[in-house]
Structure 1
Amino acid sequence: MIIRRLNAGDLAAYRALHRFGMVEAPMGFVDVAETDAARSDDVVEAMLARGEAWGAFDGDRLIGKLTIDALPYPSLAHTFWLHAVYVHPDGRGTGASGQLLRAAIADAQSKGASRIALWVNGANVHARGLYERMGFKQTGHVPGGIKVADALVDDVLMTMELT
């Protein structure tokens, strides 16, 4: 397995995996088909060109992805935000998610981050377990903060302090 930063040349593979994931695992996404369809390739390509996304590859096939970035305010620059984490079913159980997270965390730390934060669907026990194993701790939640298929579920804030 190869873990690397994604770039603008990965646009088609990134979008295809993201779109597949929204259908295959809707509890793992706040994004939905309508908002994704309205998001232009230029917007996604710019995010990839900024180096904010990481990918896990099985040969030439993108099987996992995540995005990590900091908000564009100096007072918040110490916290990097993790989002759009997804591993295709074919890549589950291979360690892809852990490798992606380790690469993104190391990169954020090298850029001066002192904290990584994320929001996760409270009903997504697999994702929450992964983040806990990686060292994230629940630091907040919003009851009924996410609406998935007309059901309200808690939105859980998890953070990792970097040393």
Structure 2
Amino acid sequence: MPLDDVRIRPAQPSDETALAALDRETWSRLHAVAPRPAPDAAFFDERHAPDDFLVAEAAGAIAGYIRLVPPTPLAVNAHVRQIQGLAVAPAARGLGLGRALIRAACARAREQGANRMTLRVLGHNAPARALYEAEGFTVEGVLPGEFLIEGEYVDDVLMGRTLD
């Protein structure tokens, strides 16, 4: 599927079933600290509203998503947005979809008045870290051994960039 055939758009409530399936399909200890989603788990809830997501649609099907939210409800950092989730369907990997979603999220953050973007990524997730670095994010902090995943301590890497 060429990237030209991909449309990135805001999520809609009707996307819930497809997004929940994508979330289950892409779940991995490489990036997840929460347990694997249950087969009947809702994707949207009081903390994860459709307005928080952009979806990538290819050939009429959802092939990826990114979650973009203010990091806190505080007015003092209303100029910041945070990526709190990125997933690309296995069949759509390697086509630049993750990069396109990040760029769309940065554009949306600018439209919302933000001038800074942050995220957190697990230290052992080398593919995600490389993607974020290629998109201008730099490591701004590391919480060593922040998570104990399957008997192994894993760093929580804080990354950020300005939105020019």
Per the normalisation by structure 2, the TM-score is: 0.88
Q: Which residue of 1 aligns with 2:3?
A: none
Please give the residue correspondences for 1:24-39 in structure 2 after superposition, counting only pairs within 5 Å: 25-33=28-36, 36-37=37-38
Offset of residue 104 of structure 1:
0.7
Instruction: Give the secondary structure class of the aligned counterpart of 1:27.
Output: coil
How many pairs were matched up? Answer: 157
Q: Secondary structure at the match of 1:139?
A: strand
CA deviation map 1:120-140 (0-9, x unaligned)? 011111100000000000000
Q: Does 1:88 align with 2:89?
A: yes
Aligned to 1:53: 53
Cα offset for 1:81? 0.8
Distance 1:20 1:145 in 2: 25
Q: Aligned partners of 1:4 and 1:154: how far apart in 2?
A: 32
Deviation digits for residues 52-93 of structure 1 (CA, Å, limit 9, x no counterpart): 101112212211111000022211211111021111111111
146-155 vs 79-88, greater mean Cα deviation:
146-155
Runs of 4+ in 1 over 6 A off after TM superposition: none
TM-score by length of 1: 0.88
CA contact (8 A) 1:8 1:45 kept: no
**Where does the alignment leave 5 or more consecutive residues of structure 1 unmatched?**
none
- Could you tell me whether the CA contact under 8 Å between 2:9 and 2:54 is conserved in 1? yes
Of all paired residues, the percent bearing the same amino acid is 31
